[in-house]
Each structure stands twice: as C-alpha cells, then as structure tokens.
Amino acid sequence: MIDRLSLVTGNEGKAREFTTLLGIEIVPVKEELIEIQSLDVMEVARRKAADAYSKLRRPVLVDDTGLHLKAWNGLPGALIRWFVDQVKIEGILNMAAGVSDRSATAIAALGFADANGTRVVSGTLHGTLATVQRGNGGFGWDSIFVPAGWDITFAEMSSEQKNAISHRRRATDALRQELGLPGT
C-alpha cells in the first residue's frame, strides 16, 4: 500500500493540503516539468505526471487546476496560473467587471504515475466569480472563487471548511478510490 508520495510542486502549502486530504505523507519535490498549453486540466496533468515519473523514477503525484468562467467560454481554464502571474487577481476582476453571468467552475486534475503507467482523476466544484478579492487564506485565486451554496470565498474559509468541499477534495477522493487508499 502507498503510504508516501512525491508531489511535484513549488508550493509547500499544497503538499500539506494533500497530506490532509489523502491521509498519507506527501513530500514536495521541485522539478521542472513539461507543461503543455491547454484549457484541459486532465491533459495537462496527464503529461506532467508522465514527465515527472520519467525524471524521478518513483511514484509521483502532480496536480493542475482550472478556473472556467462560463461568460468567457471556459477561459482561463488551466491557464489560470498564467492569468494570475501576468495580470494578477485585480486584473482578472477588472477584465470581468462588466460580466453579468459570473458562473465559474473550479476543476482539479490529479495525475499519478508509477511503473504501471499514468492515471488521471478530477474533481469539479461549481460557484461564482466574486466581484472583489475577499479573504487572506489559501493561495492562487482562492480570494475570488465563491463555491455554490456559500457566500464566502475559499480564502475566507478555514482550511477545514475548504478541504471538506473543494474541487481538490473531490479529486483526492477519486484518487483514493483509484489507488485503493483508505478514506480519511
């Protein structure tokens, strides 16, 4: 049984979150990976996982997330990190200022690779794009995503609240089932 996985990330907070969600030790590893440009987080995660395993030669986990805005026909999708890096959260909000349909979908794709090949699972959470940044928790675009049924952003939630409902939680539940890991 798997009791420890390497997660290719530069974000130690993400490794801690995965340790909590999967109930096994997740060790962050910095490694430059090929990241294809695609709106499809599943394809991005599949390619990253295969590349990570070819470089590390041990069971490895990668993730990719997307924020899909209905009014923008799915953009920025898997390109959300580049949007945040280039125009910042304020820039995204400014670009969306006149958008009346603020429906958004958060998708997390997890790629797992080992000697038996590569597997990818995903988790989806519907919500809305906030009109202003709110909250100090989380990372990335957490301050502008309001999950359906809530009136606060991910960044305003406690870690426990976010981990109970997030797209990443749903993806880790699917991965746990795929890998035969016990529930947390």
Per-residue pLDDT of the chain (184 residues; tens, 9 = 90+): 688 899 999 888 888 888 988 888 999 999 999 888 888 999 999 999 999 999 999 999 999 999 999 999 999 999 999 999 999 999 999 999 999 999 999 999 999 999 999 999 999 999 999 999 999 988 889 999 999 999 999 999 998 999 999 999 999 999 999 988 877 5
167 residue type, one letter: H
Phi-psi region at 143: left, alpha or beta (left = phi > 0; alpha = psi -120 to 50): alpha
Domains in the chain (CATH in brackets) are 4-179 (3.90.950.10)
Q: Kindly report, residue by residue over 65-96, the tens digit of the pLDDT.
A: 999 999 999 999 999 999 999 999 999 999 99
What is the per-residue pLDDT for 10?
83
Q: pTM of this prediction?
A: 0.90
